[in-house]
Amino acid sequence: MSQRILIWDIPTRVFHWALALSFAGAFLTAETERYRDLHVALGYLMLGLIAFRLIWGLIGSRYARFSSFTFRPAEIVEYLKSLLHRHPKHYLGHNPAGAVAIFLLLGLGLLSGISGVLLYLEIGGEMFEDLHEGAANMMLAVVFIHIAGVAVSSLLHRENLVRSMMTGFKSGEPGQGITRPFAWLGVIMAAVMAAFLTFYQPSGSGTSGEGSTQSINHED
Ligand code: HEM
């Protein structure tokens, strides 16, 4: 008999919503010099979150591990076909199509973050400017596909995936869920992020003069 079981541990959920917010914030502050320091801080935050997720993907709980959502190309095609027929196979963790978007988001997040740091430190010049902008725009496109995919899967499976990513719970058989939520690690993550955003001091040569102190730099 189906019951509420824990699928997403707390660090995975903290990672997800912090990544979504930091990406959105970095994207929205990209164009104005005035918010350059905030933009850079959110970029560093995104890189830190992805670095954490790469480690958690190896040592984290069952459904957070990459091994639980690494699929063969044939399985991905099969899943996409089953979506078209409106009877997709149900996965408790990430489904094959969602997994592709997730790996793309992690890869593009790394690419845009690292190229942003190189740009900020004035290493490599214009080459990184194009790469930084291109990767961020591609990431935005994948985010839209990701959100559309979440909506479609939620409808087809009559399962609220957004709520699951907030509460951690889905409906499933006893014994299929994880037993440890790792709340302590989620608290540490939240504290480290809050401390970083509070005490971050711009250091790169791209620091933007007067206007920059208005964002999150508390020098004044
Ligand atoms: C309103 C916006 C968003 C919503 C509603 C949303 C929703 C979700 C949901 C429901 C899942 C779990 C999917 C599943 O059950 O397999 C998920 C996973 C994921 N999402 Fe989002 N998402 C949003 C924005 C973003 C953004 C902006 C990013 C990246 C910048 C992102 C990156 C990811 C990643 C990397 C995962 C995998 C989580 C993990 O296993 O660590 N999402 N998202």
- Using CA atoms, how far apart are residues 4 and 81, in angstroms rounded to an integer? 29
Polymer length in residues for the chain: 220
How would residue 216 be classed by pLDDT, with cut points 50, 70 and 90?
A: very low
Three-class DSSP category at 169: strand
Whether pLDDT at 218 is above 50: no
Ligand 1 centroid to 150 CA: how many Å? 8
- Positive or negative, the CA dihedral 58, 108, 178, 74 is negative
- Positive or negative, the CA dihedral 59, 64, 66, 69 is positive
Q: Are 14 and 189 in contact (CB under 8 A)?
A: yes
Residue nearest to atom 16 of ligand 1 (CA): 94
- Using CA atoms, how far apart are residues 7 and 19, in angstroms rounded to an integer? 19
Determine the average pLDDT of the residues in 56-80.
Answer: 98
User: 170 CB less than 6 Å from ligand 1?
Assistant: no
150 CA: nearest ligand 1 atom: 10
What amino acid occupies position 33?
E
Question: Which mutation among 16, 62, 105, 144 tests ligand 1's pocket best, with the greatest number of atoms within 8 A of CB?
Answer: 16
CA-derived radius of gyration, the chain: 19
- Give the ranges where 121-202 is alpha helix by DSSP (H): 126-157, 161-167, 183-199
Kindly list the structural domains of the chain, giving each domain's residue range(s) and its CATH number in brackets, ordered by start: 15-212 (1.20.950)
Ligand 1 centroid to 100 CA: how many Å? 12
Q: List pLDDT tens digits, range 6-25.
A: 999 999 999 999 999 999 99
Instruction: Report the predicted TM-score, pTM, of the whole model to 2 decimal places.
Output: 0.92
Q: Are 140 and 27 in contact (CB under 8 A)?
A: yes
